Structure 1
Amino acid sequence: MSIADKQQQVLEELDLFQDWQERYEYVIGLGKQLPPMDESLHTPDRLIKGCQSQVWLEASSSEGNIHFLADSDSVITKGMIALFVRVLDGEPVDEVLTADLSFIDKTGLKEHLAPTRANALNLMATQMKQRALEFAQS
């Protein structure tokens, strides 16, 4: 399944919910489904700077594909990073670099988040692409 297909699937799943409370619960549920991130990976170099909550991102590469682990001290923020992990994890590094992540705007989440949390979505996407760039250059 391509990155665009995964994005479309997320949007279709969000459309199933009638109100924003249900959508938030869905996003929080995605965060709870993230594989556990070992506490030893909660280091300053893995923090996504600029987020209101603490968000840690770990990336690894295997056979040209990038794999992400993420965690947050906030359930809604953990759900937000889970959206990106779901879409980008396991994808080829080059495809992550060129992925159009504007699907997050189509979720409508930004309109229902505090400005600092909405900005965090952009920071998450940028940081994931930055990690992919590091693998592409090595």
Structure 2
Amino acid sequence: MATERFEEIADTFEFLDDWEDRYRHVIELGKEMPALDEVFRVPATKVDGCASQVWIRPIIDGSGPEATFDFEGESDAMIVRGLIAILHALYSGLTVREVGQVDAAKELGRLGLNDHLSSQRSNGLRAMVERIRLVAGETAAA
């Protein structure tokens, strides 16, 4: 299960042969994201387990399993900001129930990120996915 926006990113990754070009694309995706307001860069939105500073602010519309999931994110590292943009494309607009059904490892694996990110970046990406799944799961159960 992937959103149309994520499919566009996957298609672009297939088109780009060189990993240097793919990294540049990830950074460009991050640059296109709106900045997270400073007021939301607080311990409650900070993602632990990332080498960089990362904040994810969930935005839930509705309640229960059919609530719509979205989020804003920020990082002090451009590549990580791009990874946040990719996660936004993967999850934004899904219901919180659907967020829990996304096989993030499989979808992100289609981009080949696991083979080209440092172990610290990979751990940070997993931490961001876990935060998203936790928030969605708590909302779905409410």
TM-score normalised by structure 1 residue count: 0.91
Contact 1:56 1:70 in 2 (8 A): yes
Where structure 2 has 5 or more consecutive residues not aligned to the other structure, the ranges are none
2:125 to 92, 107, 121: 121
CA distance in 2, matches of 1:7, 1:79: 13
Where structure 1 has 5 or more consecutive residues not aligned to the other structure, the ranges are none
2:70 pairs with 1:67: yes
CA distance in 2, matches of 1:109, 1:99: 17
CA distance in 2, matches of 1:108, 1:90: 24
Contact 2:29 2:82 in 1 (8 A): yes
CA distance in 2, matches of 1:7, 1:60: 19
Tell me the secondary structure at the aligned position of residue 45 of structure 1.
Answer: coil
Aligned to 1:16: 15
Tell me the secondary structure at the aligned position of residue 60 of structure 2.
Answer: strand
Shift of 1:121: 1.6
Q: Name segments (4+ residues, structure 1) moved above 3 Å.
A: 4-8
Shift of 1:6: 4.2
CA distance in 2, matches of 1:60, 1:20: 32
2:109 to 93, 105, 110: 105
Equivalent pairs: percent with the same residue? 31
**CA RMSD of superposed structures (Å):** 1.5
CA distance in 2, matches of 1:50, 1:70: 15
TM-score normalised by structure 2 residue count: 0.89
CA distance in 2, matches of 1:34, 1:135: 25
Q: In the TM superposition, what are the counterparts of 1:73-112 in structure 2 within 5 Å?
A: 73-101=76-104, 102-112=106-116
Residue deviations 1:37-73 (CA, integer Å, cap 9, x gap): 1011001111110100011000021131011100000
CA distance in 1, matches of 2:72, 2:3: 21
